[in-house]
Amino acid sequence: MSEAMAAPRPAPMADVAGRTAFITGGANGIGLGIARALVRAGANVVIADIRAESLAEARASLGDDARVETVVLDVTDRAGFARAADAAEARFGKIHMLIGNAGIGIMGPIVDARYDDWDWAMGVNFGGVVNGLVTILPRIRAHGEGGQIVTTSSQSALIPIPFSATYTAAKAAVLGLSEAIRGELASENIGVSAFLPGPVQSNIALSGELRPDRFKSDSGYQTREAELEKRPVSPLWMEADEVGERVLAGIRNNDLYILTHPEFAAGMRKRFDAILASFPDEPINHERAAAIGFLLGNPVFDEELARHSKKEDMAR
């Protein structure tokens, strides 16, 4: 076992009590489940969402807890993001956890996708994560108390399925972003977790209601969005509160990947096997490998494997 694998880094937010989390898309579904879990664990929570009425309902569901603040936020509005972060700091002093969860379920045949569909999907599902990082990461770094970045990707990033191109492209970008920045921020005691949920009981089917007018003139998906709103939420989908507890555990452990549904493991393995099977069947050019060694691996994967190996050893 390598030295990197032998010494996984400690979790920056192993104790979330008294720390502050900023959650986008936090007024219902997954976001609210995460908020509830954090509040139960003693954290301060700022719930940001585009729906003012949903924010009021979320606050009421939390019993108007003194550790909860709500703020209206469109995650594509960069100036609005800065104002929301200012409000969070005015209330609680410092932000320690950024949970970029806001998302829309925009899907359909690739032949029907138009510029407005792509721009809205990427603007919210990926751009919202980017805007959160640019706005809040410098504030976490400035106070020097450590922190955690949680980015909501999806199992779709690992098992892409037909008719999900716009959604999958954004979620795959979120996953790659998270993997890339984890090693950069570790030295500042800031953890990064990519959250990859499967189906959860939420209002994501109602995403079409939120489509701004500026993304309606050149869209091929609006009829499909109206049909999606009628789709019932299966009782077999995971409950948001269970998901919230899984995310809280991932934050406490500083897990690189926060996964929810073991049912996806076989499909993920097939994808990875298909990729590995596609490499050229020829000897490695060791001189070339030495020249591009910085591209051939990432220590964060060694550390994550070491983390899980340690858990297995402790369980024995």
Query: Does the annotation count 167 as an active-site position?
Result: yes
Residue 20's DSSP bridge partners are 44
For the chain, what is the radius of gyration of the CA atoms? 20
Cβ proximity of 158 and 268 under 8 Å: yes
Residue among 115, 167, 221, 257 flagged as catalytic: 167
Q: Where are the alpha helices (DSSP H) in 41-143?
A: 52-61, 78-92, 115-125, 127-143
What's the full length of the chain, in residues? 316
Per-residue burial over 123-156, b if 16 or more Cβ lie within 10 Å, else e, is: bbbbbbbbbbbebbbebbeeeeebbbbbbbbbbb
Backbone angles phi, psi at 269, to 5 degrees: -60, -40
Give me the residue label for tokens 């691996």: 297
Give the chain's largest Cα–Cα span: 64
What residues act catalytically?
167
